Structure 1
Amino acid sequence: MNDLTNQEEAHVRAALQFLRLRFGGWASLAKALRFKEATIAHVANGKTVSASLAIRISKLVNVGVDDLLRGNFPPPGTCPYCGHQQEVGQ
Structure 2
Amino acid sequence: MSHLRIVRDEPPKRRERRPHVNHVLTHAEQAQARAALKGLRNAFGSWSALAAAMDVRITTLMAAARGAYNVSAALLVRASRASGLSIGDLLGKPIAADRCRACGQIKRRVA
Q: Give the TM-score range, shorter chain.
A: 0.7 to 0.9
Shift of 1:66: 2.6
Task: Report what 2:80 is aligned to.
Answer: 58
5+ long unaligned stretches in structure 1? none
Q: Which of the residues 71, 82, 91 maps onto 1:49?
A: 71
**When the two structures are aligned, how many residues end up with a matched partner?**
80
Task: Using structure 1 for the length normalisation, give the TM-score.
Answer: 0.76
Extract structure 1 runs of 4+ deviating beyond 4 A: none
User: Structure 2-normalised TM-score?
Assistant: 0.63
User: How big is each residue's C-alpha offset from its partner over 1:1-52, in whole Å with a ceiling of 9 and x where there is no partner?
Assistant: 1111111111111011111111111111100000000000000110111100
When the two chains are superposed, the root-mean-square deviation of aligned CA atoms in Å is 1.7
Percent identity, aligned pairs only, is: 39
Among 2, 23, 40, which residue is 1:19 paired with? 40
Amino acid at match of 1:59: R
Counterpart amino acid of residue 19 in structure 1: L
Greater Rg by CA? 2
Partner of 2:59: 38
1:4 to 19, 25, 28: 25
Alignment of 1:68-87 (within 5 A): 68-69=90-91, 71-72=92-93, 74-75=94-95, 78=96, 80=97, 83-85=98-100, 86=104
Higher RCO, 1 vs 2 (CA within 8 Å, ≥6 residues apart)? 1
